[in-house]
Amino acid sequence: MLHTLPPLVKALVVSRPSKTIKSPYVADIELEDGTKALCHTPALGCCGLVSPGRTIYVSKSKESSKTAYTAQISESKDDEGDYYIGLHPMISQHMASKLLNKISPNVTWKTEVKISEHTRLDFVGTFGNSNKKIYVEVKNAMISNKCDKKREERKAIFPDGFRKSKNDTISPRAVKHAETLAELMNDDDTIACYLVFIVPRNDCKSGLELNETDPTYCNAIKDALANGVKVLVFGLDFLPNGEIHFDKELVFHPPS
């Protein structure tokens, strides 16, 4: 087990955005005892995982928050039973920090390290007193567009989200991170660069694929791989009691 979330309460999503705070980051929910409340939903898109009628598990928000609860887990069902999907991107980020020993156990890690004026990377590891470094950027891949397939054939997908035009990249920031890792591979002090995808669900047994409708990102990853950037995919198992377990390392399907 990697982590335990704060105490969770089962809830039904009534509307998103909320009818009182018209933001996609806020939903109206109803708890099992009939209590209605506002809920912070930290991830946009979510492919319906926090849409009206869905069952989610929520934790109490901070007292200073405008919402009473924060969405943590979405419940889903298929022919093989129930499964659960982590909703909070910062939780996946925190879980990645607990898995850095799978990259290298003999370094000192720093978080949110400024690389250039407009770019930060999630983790930079330094070997002892040397200047030799490992660079790590983490991405949260919570979505699958293959839920009609059996779990053994199902893949997570990245990136996914809104864009004004189909010709736009979904995440310019993700493209910049891939480009930065590729550039860092040319530095004499660089030992390795890793792009780590966290899949906060245990149903995508076939691993992770890139969204081919976003050629800008796919090409950035191709260039990064050609420069020696390594990709790791870690699957997590979320439970409705709040426990988060490491599931297994998943297969990465590079862009064609």
Domain holding 55: CATH number? 2.40.50.580
Is the pLDDT reported for residue 159 higher than 90? Answer: yes
Burial class (CB in 10 A: 0-12, 13-18, 19+), 33: exposed
CA distance 218 to 234: 20
109: domain range?
A: 89-253
pLDDT band at 131 (very low <50, low <70, confident <90, very high): confident
Residue 96 belongs to a domain with what CATH number?
Answer: 3.40.1350.60
| Domain match, 80 and 94 both | no
Q: In the structure, what pLDDT confidence band is assigned to residue 27 with cuts at 50, 70 and 90?
A: very high
Structural domains in the chain (count): 2
Domain boundary residue among 85, 117, 144?
A: 85
Report for 19-23, 43-47, 60-64, 178-182: range of highest mean pLDDT: 178-182
Which pLDDT band holds residue 46 (cuts at 50, 70, 90)?
A: low
The pLDDT of residue 246 is above 90: yes
Mean pLDDT for 92-101 is 92
Which of 85, 110, 131 marks a domain boundary?
85
Query: Quick check: 55 and 41 in contact, CB under 8 A?
Result: no
Residue 240 and residue 161 share a domain:
yes
Place of tokens 């660069």: 193
Name the range with the highest mean pLDDT among 90-94, 114-118, 250-254. 250-254
Residues 40 and 109 placed together within one structural domain of the fold: no
Question: Do 96 and 125 belong together in one domain?
Answer: yes
Measured in degrees and rounded to the nearest 5, phi and psi for residue 49 equal -70, -20
CA distance 227 to 254: 14
* Domain closes at, from 47, 68, 85: 85
**Residue pair 222/254 in contact by the 8 Å Cβ criterion:** yes
The pLDDT of 158-180, averaged and rounded, is: 91
Residue whose token pair is 């862009």: 255
Return the DSSP state at 35: -
Consecutive H or E run containing 208: strand 208-210
User: 56 with 165, same domain?
Assistant: no
As a whole-number percent, the residues of the chain with pLDDT over 70 amount to 99
**Model confidence, pTM:** 0.94
Name the band, by pLDDT with cuts 50, 70 and 90, for residue 45: low
The answer on 150 and 75 residing in a single domain is no
Is the per-residue pLDDT at 121 higher than 70?
yes
* 102: pLDDT strictly greater than 80: yes
